[in-house]
Amino acid sequence: MNQNKAVMAGAGFMGASLAQVYALAGYETWIYNRSESGLEKGKHLIQVNQEEMVREGLITKEQSDAVHEKIHYTTSKECFSDCCIVVESLVEQLDVKQGFFSEISRIVPDEALLASNTSGLHITDIASDCRYPERFMGQHWLNPPHLLPLCEIIAGARTSEENIRKMRELVKGLGKRPVVVADINGFIVNRIQFAMLREALNIVEMGAATAADIDNVLKAGMGIRYAALGPFGIVDQGGIDSFDNISAYLFRDLSDEKSESSTLKAMVERGELGVKSGKGFYDYSGDKAEEAIRNRDRKFIQLAKVLYFGKNNRI
């Protein structure tokens, strides 16, 4: 087994972005995709991302050149035969992921680590026909992982503690910030994200505030505090007794809706899908969609400089 060879399965946004993460950390990184056209798209994404990172001063031109040299592209499954880790970012369908790992787990070396970048499917289910499932786990990244530090490591029912430890150290070696969570629905990120979204939708639906005002609450206040301290750090700073008192009267008034959002469902039925359709909670008609994406990326890069690429922030 080559301890310095990583394979990313899938050449889409996540696979291409992850390849840059591994290559920047020094791995000889292979991107596997079934089609040459998919590989070409992935190669283009990497080129664009690397140019932007150099332009913004996140990495040097020399570092970017080294990343390109370490990334290889293939449609042959031979690339899996001697790697130390596989990270899968295929379509979010259980049968596709199960079939992939059923086959690949019998090609890779016995001690190679296996990970799915699923955002919500159960790790235990994906590993149902995986050879040596004790080495299989989730490695859930937020898009785009080449800019965002977080990696959720999800332990399936049969994942070993030793392999979780190895994966945690591997992710730290990438310069990223790992957290470990059991195989619960939504893991950590989506459980918190959707709990917050449920209450935000509730506030809009009761007519108490607009979507724009709620977004500004997060962008201009809570988001900064959460980025710096996290929810439990905020409670410690504010006083646990104060939060206990507030929870006594506020929890009972918060939304506990168990069905899908009527607001989101109605928007989907109207074809209001956000940036990709030109309208969502905001207007993205004409060239507004492209500008919204560019503005998002500029802000991500500015935050990445503080949270991740600063010389004192890499773990």
The values of phi and psi at residue 93, to 5°, are -130, 130
Inter-CA distances, 68 with 5, 25, 47, 49, 159, Å = 15, 12, 8, 11, 33
Q: What whole-number distance in Å separates Cα of residue 201 and Cα of residue 209?
A: 10
What's the pTM value of the predicted model, to 2 decimals? 0.91
pLDDT confidence of residue 180: 98
Sequence letter at residue 297: D
Task: Output DSSP code: residue 52.
Answer: H
Q: With a cut of 70, list the residues of the chain below it in pLDDT.
A: 310-315
Backbone φ and ψ for 88, nearest 5 degrees, come out as -100, 130
What is the C-alpha to C-alpha distance for residues 126 and 138, in angstroms, rounded to an integer?
10
Residue 33 β-bridge partners: none
Q: Please spell the DSSP secondary structure of 239-284, one letter per residue.
A: -HHHHHHHHHHHGGGS----S--HHHHHHHHTT--BGGGTBSSSB-
pLDDT for the residue numbered 315: 40
Q: What is the pLDDT of residue 234?
A: 96
